[in-house]
Amino acid sequence: MSEALALPAPGDGFLGRLGRRPLAVASAAILALLAALALLAPLFAMLSGIDPNAVDLLQRLEPPSAQHWLGTDDIGRDVLLRLLLGGRVSLFVGLTAALASAVIGTAIGLMAGYWGERADALLMRLTDGIIALPLLPLLIVLAAVDLTKLGLSAELAGSETISLYRIVAIIALVGWTTVARLVRGAALSVRTRDYVLAAIGQGASPWRVMAVHILPNVASPIVVATTLSVGNVILLESVLSFLGLGIQPPLPSWGNMLTNAQELMTSAPWLAIWPGMLIFVTVIACNLLGDGLQDALDPRAQE
């Protein structure tokens, strides 16, 4: 008697496997909540009638109250609204830099894995060279570069927008190595499969083979690595802002809010507790979500 064909049980799909990982689901919910609150920050400011950038020295360092739920900072600005606006910046930097790093790393990893030989050796030695560099000192040096010497006007070089996009660009330029190595390893395996060889035999161009036949089959490590790197990017942005080389005031970020609070730890500790807690929760949630996605995207993962 022939054996009955085993059918996948209900809930064995990606969402089913992810749903059986409560820490990953809770982390995704926390990140979604933080993102929603950050996006709605201007609406909350309008409804409360409080300008988060307005200076009021008569209300400086007030403790939490009915008007200011988390108190005020050293120049009288509402801490809650500043945290929400800072979340917009920190989450934007984290997501944008992680995605940009993933794009660069995916392109390099695909080319190295598909062409192999000399291209693989050259691109992987470039990757090893970036990995060998001390990350934080390198980021500090790049963030301290005077943009006026690169041809930008003094007004543009000192603008809030430039400080934001410069951090994204700097982190993306050095943060692609993990994705590149993961994609390269997966591409080396996929390129020897029959459907890839058939596409090459039918005359498909290398770019079409990489984009249509290889990339969809190496998406899992890309998604996981990108999710995990979001937390690391937010942490790096916070470190640079804490050192005064990241997002420049008055544009708030969780990192520069910590910088402003370091001299007030004894008189107003909540100014450091809230942004530090949000950074901690966001980084942990990103890591737990990345772990959950890694298991959920692998059908062979043990329950």
**pLDDT for 146 beyond 80:** no
pLDDT of residue 1: 42
HEC letters along 16-68: HHHHCCHHHHHHHHHHHHHHHHHHCHHHHHHHHCCCCCCCCHHHCCCCCCCCC
- What are the pLDDT digits (tens) for 1-10? 444 444 445 4
Q: What is the pTM of this model?
A: 0.84
* Helix or strand run (H / E) with residue 205: none
**pLDDT for 147 beyond 70:** yes
DSSP-derived secondary structure letter, 188:
H
Look at residues 97, 95, 107 and name the one whose alpha carbon lies nearest to residue 215.
Answer: 107
Give residue 33's pLDDT band: very low, low, confident or very high (50, 70, 90).
very high
CB 300 within 8 A of CB 17: no
pLDDT of residue 5: 45
- What are the pLDDT digits (tens) for 55-72? 888 888 888 888 888 888
Topology, domain 21-43+68-296: MetI-like fold (1.10.3720)
**pLDDT for 102 beyond 90:** yes
- Give the span between the Cα atoms of 115 and 297, in whole angstroms: 27
- Give the span between the Cα atoms of 220 and 228, in whole angstroms: 13
> How many C-beta atoms surround the C-beta of residue 220 within 10 A?
17
* Whole-Å CA distances, 93 to 230, 234, 246: 9, 7, 11
DSSP-derived secondary structure letter, 8:
P
Q: What six digits make up the tokens of 202?
A: 């039918």
**pLDDT for 18 beyond 60:** yes
Q: What six digits make up the tokens of 47?
A: 């409804």
- Give the span between the Cα atoms of 31 and 290, in whole angstroms: 12
**Domain edges within the chain:** 21-43+68-296
In terms of pLDDT, which residue wins out, 180 or 19?
Answer: 180
